[in-house]
Structures are given as structure tokens and as C-alpha cells.
Chains A and B, each alone.
Chain A
Amino acid sequence: MIRLLILTLALGLAAAGPAAAQERGPLRIEITEGVIEPLPFAIPQFVPENPGAAEMARQITRVVSADLTGTGLFREIPRDAYISDVTSFQSPVQYSDWKAINAQALITGAVQTTNDGRVIVKFRLFDVFAENQLGDGLQFAASQDSWRRMAHKVADAVYSRITGEGAYFDSRVVFVASSGPKDARRTRLAIMDYDGANVEYLTDSGNLVLAPRFSPDGKRVLYTSYETGSPRIHILDVDTVERRVLEQEAGAMSVGPSFTPDGNKVIYSLARGGNSDLYELNLQTGATRQLTSAPSIETSPSVSPDGRFIVFESDRSGSQQLYVMPAGGGEARRISSGAGRYGAPVWSPRGDMIAFVKQNKGRFHIGVMRTDGSEERLLTASFLDESPTWSPNGRVIMFTRESQGASGQPSLYSVDITGRNLRRVPLETAASDPTWSPLLQ
């Protein structure tokens, strides 16, 4: 019996031996703590492929670098630290030289101008430490007047490939440009590149204009104007600068318009007899429909990207709070629950967040929260922050910050939704009420 038992055990161990060796497997570790710092990248000046393209190559390279650096997610390595240079778009990359300066991404490009006034830009992106190319090389061609847009598109492609986020550099912003003293400002609508370049005015100064909102296709803008003495909603074609007043009830004040995702309807707030409710206007038929009927003040509607819900502000609970209701009207659900007053909600183009203005203890904040009100996070704190608008990719928020005092002027600022990279948009004029367009086509 003992022999049988020992032999059985021996056979078992003989079979288990190799199995145990196989089960040993690789060494396993878990990494949970990393670092948050801008990714260093190198961008040698794009190679001019003809003599007339040198200046444009330099400008395009500068804009691409500024776009990436301006996100706060990237850091450009100074060119005087480069070991090798790129003299030809086709020349192989010396990875060791770029590794030596800790360049984790390398952007190479070339610019060519043609006699018919066009410019051709091509680029490649490399992962230096993996020693491979990230995605395929791309080439853009457009008129030389549009060279900044091509630079933004190159930066968009690099940004998306490295971060995984959607693009947003090739976009525009409509805002209210103002001049004059605080108590007698002259305002007009203006449009610019997202980075403050190429400012153009869309309306004449002299009438108070407020709260512009881009259409989903980026071709039209809704805004409120006091041109007729009382606030009325106007719609403006961005390309032709033609505008018209939307048909509204006489004697009523209409403010805070916002497009629905299909661009066919406008949700706005109509004040009548001291009460303010939300209405829907069909731009094709002119039909209106009342969405709320409460004795409180409902304003600042913003429709979710899927068109199913509307977030708005209301004082039905005694103070300004945020509510979400079905797009067709119905029972509203309060989503803000913190201390202070909430207003100016704007639904993220991703659909996952809502930006808002919060006033608490004498300070104004720009914040974000989930669409159910959870995970509220305040991004800024100032004397006066208001009018948030989302970048096309839902990663950045632009807003108005007004400085304190009689000589205080409004300016445009942007901030990452993580709360980092707060920076002022460089403009020569006072600016407020920004609305960010979708990505240009």
C-alpha cells in the first residue's frame, strides 16, 4: 500500500512539475502613479521646397508650434538644443539625436508655393522612442491667404494623434467686441480664429448686442440686439453678414437664444408680464411652442448634442439653479446642488459635461459637472467670470473675465477642463460673450 501511495504521489509530482513551471509566468507589476507634464516635442522649421516658400514655411511652423504649446499639453524643445537638423522632407530620421534631447515627438514638414497663388503643406509625425511614424503623412493645399488654417490643420492632426482628443485648432469664435467706458459701452459682433487672430467685425457698433450662439454648422449666429429698443433675437449669416430679426410676439422680450442640434429650431426665453418662460421657434415654419409654464424665471437654454434634453437656469427653488428637462418640455430635474447660484449652462459637444457659471461668496467661477449634476468641478475663480463656451472637442472652455473697477474691461480667457492652462486670448479690443464654432470644414 505504501508503495502504491508513493508511486501515485510520484506520478502526480511528475505531472505537476512542468505545469508549475508554466504557471510561473512573467513578473507582474502594477503602475498607478505617473506624472502629469507637457510632452516635449521637436519641430524643426518646415523645409521650403521652393525659394518663395521660405517665409511661409517659417510662419506655418510657428503657428503649429504655438497651437500645440498653447494647449498646455506639449512643450517645444528649443531649436538651439537640436543635435541634428532636417534639411529634406524625405531624409531619414536620426532617432538617437532626438532621444538625446528627450524629444518624445518629432514633427517634420515641407511647404511649397505655386505660381497660381496656392500653398501646399505636408508633414510627418514620429514617435521618437518607439522609433516609428505615428500615422501617415498628410498634405494640405489651399490659397496662400489660408495658410493659417493649414497650419491649424497640421496642428490638429498632430494633437489628435498624440492625445487622442478631437481637433479644435481650425475653428473660429464669435464674440462681442466693446469699446468706451463701462457705463456707455459700444458693442458689436466680431469673429476671430480660436487663437485671437484674424479679427473681423460682423455688425456695426451703436446697438447693444448680447449672447451670440453659433449654429451647429457654423454658418449662422443667433444673438440678442437692442436695435429696436427692446431685446430681439437676430440671426446672422457669417459669410454674407446678412441678418434678420426672428418673428416674435410684439411687446415681449426675447433673450438667450440657442440652436437645436439639427439647426432647424431655436430655443429662447420670452419675458412677458414679468414672467419668463422657455419657448421653441421652428425656423422653417415660424411656429412657436411654449416649453415651460412656471411662475419663475427660466432662461439660458442649451440643448444636448443628441437633441433629447435642455438644460436651463431657473429660480423656481428660490435661487438660480440648473435644471434639465426633455427637449419637448415636461418635468424638469434640478441638477445643481452646491452652495451659491448657478447659471449660463452650456452642454458640452461631447454630451458628457455641462459648463456653468457659479456665484458664491462674492466670487464667480466657471465650472463643469456631469449631466446629472455629479462631479462638479470649479475651474476658475475671479471677480467676474461668465459666458462659458465649449471648444469643438469639448476639452477647452473659453469665457469672459471682467476686471474690477470703473476702468475694468472684459477679456476672453480659455481653460482646460482639468483646470490647468488658464490663459488670456490675445486681443486688442475688449471682448465678451464668446461662442465657439464647430470645427471648420
Chain B
Amino acid sequence: MDTGTVISGTGHGLLLAWLAFGGLLQPAPEEPEFSVADVSIISSEEFAALSRPEVAEEAPEAETAAPEVEETPPEPAEPEVEASPPPAPRPEEPPEQAEPPLAEAPEMPEDVPVEPETPPAPEPDVVEPPEEVAPPAEPPAPPEPEVAEEPQPDAAPRVAPDPVPETQDSPEIADTPAPRVDEEADTDQVAEEQPDAAPEEATTEIVTEAETPSGAPDRSPVPRARPAAPAPAPETEAVEGPVEVAEPDAPDDAPDDAPSEAPEEDQLAEAIAGAVAEANEDGAPAASATPAGPPMTRGEEEALRVAVQQCWNLGSSSTEALQTTVVVSVDMNRDGTPDTGSIRLVASNNVGSEGERIAFEAARRAIIRCGARGFPLPEEKYGYWQEIEMTFNPEGMRLR
């Protein structure tokens, strides 16, 4: 019995011992299952925390970190808020690795002076390129001012401010990556910004160029001379006919009925020309003497103006007369001398005043004195200057 009891007791003891030791070994693998459930509770923080440790682990150094920083500039505020609360021990490690590049950005300049070469080089490079973007934008402007005078320099400053904000954004980005991706990133950014500035200038200048050609066609006599001189006169005459008499109708009818109704149009055109000629003859017998040739050129008018103004003496005029503008009419003789008896006051801005009288007398004196030997006027254009209205405006001479 003793042996039986010993054996049974030993067996039970072993069983109890196995149960005791075996139970301790099995619960350990079950506990991690509960820990997994705890992880699911932290899911809101995991999303940000787990992603960073992965990035930090995947991109331990250099090149990959730089592009991520460039993409994150709008996000830096979020990691800072997350970094402030230390929820779990695990996320703390990755954020410390992820934050340093952002938090070290301010620290880097402090370290940069220790490394004199790299930090100063990137910062000035980054700051300058936006400023240099404007100068390269200006050089294209000067060649264009040659085409159109002053409006283009005005266009250049307009172009400059637009690229400036873009470049201002780039230097902010450059501050953070500067220590690592200095020259490459800078050169790339500058190269991209310059072409952006150039096309903007081109657009503004095109507008000004479009304005300038509008003033060019003032000189129409040049195209007139071409059709008159060459031999194919009939063609040009046929073109001139409809242009002068019936411009609006000619283009509409020409494509449709040009071959069939051509003779009828010729008859009508002759009738129209006759009617116009009769109207001109009846309505303006005096005017027939006026418009003979081409009108007065600006140079001819300028010569007349200079001839009159050199005799327009305001030295003895009252202060009131110096504030009076008068319009004086004069009939001219064919030899360029004024008909002194025809000089009359047409209008003034100080009607009935003593200043008006003085201003008119000074103007009349100028016309008579400098016209005594005849003004430099082309006799063949007498029809255009047989009557002249001169406006004497002393506004710019009051304080002389």
C-alpha cells in the first residue's frame, strides 16, 4: 500500500506539477491576442504613427527624406500637434525620427555656421534666384521697347510682381531642404521659374505692340502711290473705283454676281460718281478751291506753329492775360501773309475781360509780326490754310 500510495501520490504530484507548469506556459501566447485588441483602440493615432515609423524605417537617410519634406510643407502643423501628446511608447520613437528633419530645420541654420560652406551657399542661392528671375525678365524687355517706346518698360514691372510670389513660395521650401539638397534643388527651381517669367512679359508686350500698329495706318498716301505708278493700271483702277465710291457693297456683291452684273454696276457706279460730283459742285463752290492735293503734313503745321510762337510775346501781359486762352481766326493770302484786317477773336476762356483783350492783342501782334514776310506754307496746299484758327494757350508760361 505504501508503494501504491507512493506511486499514486507521485503520479498525482507529477500531474499537478505538469498542470501547474503547463498552464503557465500556455497563457503567455494568449495574452498577445488581448494586446492586439489594445492596438485596435489606438487606431486613430496609429494611422499617423505607424505610417511614420514605416517611412523612417524605409527611408533611413538622404534622398528619400528630401522629397517627402517637400511634399509635407502644408502638413508640418499636424505632426507637431501629434508629437506634443506622448500616447504610446511605440509611436514616440518614429516621430522623433520623423520630426527631427522638420524641427531641425530651424536648428540647421545654427549648425550651418559651424559648417560654413554648405549652409551659407544654399540660403543665398535660394534667396537670390527669385531676385534674379526679375533681371532675366528685364533683358527681354529692352529689345521690345525698340519696337514700341515707353509702354513696354511699364509692362516689365507688371510682369515682375507676378513671378515674385511664386519665387517667395520656393524660398520657404528651400529653407528646409537647403542643408541636404542644396545646389541641385536650387538650380532646378531657378531653371523652372525663369521660363515662367519670360512668357508673361511677352504677353504684356504683345498687347502694347497691338496698340502701336493701330496708329500706323495714318499714312494712307503710301498705298495710294503704289497702284497709280505701276503698269497694271486697269486692275488697280478697277479696285480703286469700288473702294472710293461703294466700298461696303463691292465686297458683298463681287463674289456672287461679279461676272454677270458687271456692266450694270459700271453704269450705276458712273451714275453715282456723277451724282457725287454734281453735289460737290453745287454745294461748295468755295470749297472747290480748298482741297486740291494732300492735306497739310505735321511737319508743315509744325513749321507754321514755330513761326508764330517766336513772335508771341507775353512779357508785357498781365497775370490775368496769362490765364486766358484765346482762339484767333485769320484769313491768309496766297503768299503766306495774313490778311491783317481779317484777324478776329473766335473764342476765349475769359470772355469780356481785360485779360481777354490783352491776350488777343498779343496773339494778333504775333500773327502780324511774324507773318509780315509770309509764313512757311506750301502754296499748292493753299486750300487747306487759306483760313487758319490759332489757339494761343499760355498755360505753360505763367510762371516763366
Contact = CB atoms under 8 A, between A and B. Distances in A.
B283 A18 contact: yes
Contact of A29 (B280, B305, B310, B318): B305
A309 B73 CA distance: 68
Contacts of A6: 246, 249, 265, 268, 272
Contact of A164 (B308, B355, B391): B355
Given A17-B280, A21-B283, 20 more contacts: A7-B268, A10-B268, A10-B272, A10-B276, A18-B282, A19-B283, A24-B287, A24-B291, A26-B387, A31-B312, A31-B391, A32-B395, A34-B309, A34-B397, A35-B311, A73-B315, A104-B369, A130-B361, A162-B358, A163-B316
A9 interface: yes
Interface of B: 245-246, 248-249, 253, 257, 261, 265, 268, 271-272, 275-276, 278-280, 282-284, 287, 290-291, 296, 301, 304-305, 308-321, 329, 340, 354-355, 357-358, 361-366, 368-369, 372, 384-385, 387-397, 399-400
B387 A27 contact: yes
A27 B316 contact: no
Contacts of A131: 340
A31 B306 CA distance: 8
Contacts of A27: 296, 301, 384-385, 387-389
A36 B397 contact: yes
A39 interface: yes
Contact of B313 (A28, A30, A35): A35
Nearest to B280: A17
Contacts of A28: 388-391
Nearest to A72: B315
A164 B317 contact: yes
Given A26-B389, A39-B316, A164-B358, A104 B365 contact: yes
Q: Among A7, A14, A73, which residue has the most Cβ atoms of chain B within 10 A?
A: A14
Given A33-B396, A127-B365, A129-B368, A26 B272 contact: no
A11 interface: yes
Contact of B397 (A7, A33, A129): A33
A141 B249 CA distance: 82
A243 interface: no
B365 A164 contact: no
A33 B310 CA distance: 8
A436 to B, nearest CB: 18
B307 to A, nearest CB: 10
A398 B333 CA distance: 49
Nearest to A13: B276
A18 B280 contact: yes
A21 to B, nearest CB: 4
A244 interface: no
Contact of B275 (A5, A13, A377): A13
Contact of B390 (A31, A104, A129, A164): A31
A81 to B, nearest CB: 17
Nearest to A14: B279
23 contacts: A5-B249, A6-B272, A10-B275, A11-B275, A18-B280, A21-B280, A21-B290, A26-B388, A29-B304, A29-B388, A30-B390, A33-B309, A35-B310, A36-B314, A37-B315, A129-B365, A130-B365, A163-B318, A163-B358, A164-B358, A377-B399, A395-B318, A417-B319
A74 interface: yes
